[in-house]
């Protein structure tokens, strides 16, 4: 994530991302914020899925994997994440 282009803040359990160029903003729920943070820390998709499954006892890992992939794809599509972030 280009920190010259986006500002990231945690507010009431949500992650707010403000695009400084366009003025548009995005919100992520607590889980989405964790996925973004772990991605920015260089965690692998498997690490992220494992961490989320531990946070949410009984979570189906295949469902979590699909959700993580969908979110990461959406963040890339919106140019919040780039391939270098993964």
20 domain-assigned: yes
Number of domains in the chain: 1
**Domain assignment of residue 86, yes or no:** no
- pLDDT of the residue at 58: 86
- State the average pLDDT over residues 45-57: 93
**The CATH number of the domain where 59 resides is what?**
1.10.10
DSSP H or E stretch at residue 77: helix 61-77
Domain that holds residue 23: 6-80
The answer to whether residue 1 is domain-embedded is: no
11 domain-assigned: yes
Q: Is residue 21 part of a domain?
A: yes
Are 62 and 68 within 8 A, CB to CB? no
Write out the H or E segment, with its range, that includes residue 16.
strand 14-19
Give the helix/strand (H/E) hosting 54.
Answer: helix 45-55
Q: Is residue 36 classed as helix, strand or coil in its secondary structure?
A: helix
Indicate whether 25 belongs to any domain: yes
Predicted local confidence at residue 17, as pLDDT: 93
In a domain, residue 10? The reply is yes
Helix or strand (DSSP H, E) at 19: strand 14-19
Kindly report the pTM of this predicted structure: 0.85
Provide mean pLDDT across the span 55-82.
Answer: 92
């Amino acid at each position: 994530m280009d920190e010259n282009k986006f500002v990231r803040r945690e507010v009431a359990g949500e992650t707010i991302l403000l695009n400084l160029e366009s003025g548009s903003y995005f919100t992520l729920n607590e889980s989405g914020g964790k996925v973004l943070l772990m991605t920015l820390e260089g965690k692998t998709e498997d690490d992220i899925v494992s961490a989320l499954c531990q946070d949410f006892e009984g979570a189906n890992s295949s469902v979590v994997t699909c959700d993580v992939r969908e979110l990461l794809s959406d963040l890339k599509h919106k140019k919040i994440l780039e391939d270098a972030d993964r």
